Amino acid sequence: MVGLRERKKRRTRATIVEVAARLFAAQGYEATTVAQIAGEAEIAESTLFKYFPSKADLVFSLSDAVTESAKERLLGRAESESASEALVAWIAVELPGVEAPYVGLLRNYEAVVAGDAELRREARLRLAELEDVFATAFALDLGEPPESLRVRVLAAIALRGMTDAWRSWYEHHATDRDVDLRDACAVKAAHVERVLEEGAAAIDLLVSARELDDDGSGRAEAAPLP
Same-domain status, 155 and 170: yes
What does the mean pLDDT of the chain come to?
88
| CATH number of domain containing 8 | 1.10.10.60
Same-domain status, 40 and 114: no
pTM metric for this prediction: 0.85
Q: pLDDT (tens digit, 9 = 90+) per residue, 125-157?
A: 999 999 999 999 999 999 999 999 889 999 999
Residue 224 lies in a domain: no
CA atoms within 13 A on the CB side of 177: 0
Residue 225 lies in a domain: no
Q: pLDDT (tens digit, 9 = 90+) per residue, 21-38?
A: 999 999 999 999 999 999
Residue 127 lies in a domain: yes
Residue 122 lies in a domain: yes
Tell me how far apart the alpha carbons of residues 193 and 187 are, in angstroms, rounded to a whole number: 10
Same-domain status, 145 and 42: no
Same-domain status, 39 and 140: no
| CATH number of domain containing 175 | 1.10.357.10
Query: How does residue 224 score in pLDDT terms, banded at 50, 70 and 90?
Result: low
Q: pLDDT (tens digit, 9 = 90+) per residue, 150-180?
A: 899 999 999 999 999 888 877 776 677 777 8
- pLDDT at position 218 is 47
Residue 178 lies in a domain: yes
- pLDDT at position 5 is 87
The H-or-E segment that residue 213 falls in is helix 181-215
**What is the total residue count of the chain?**
226
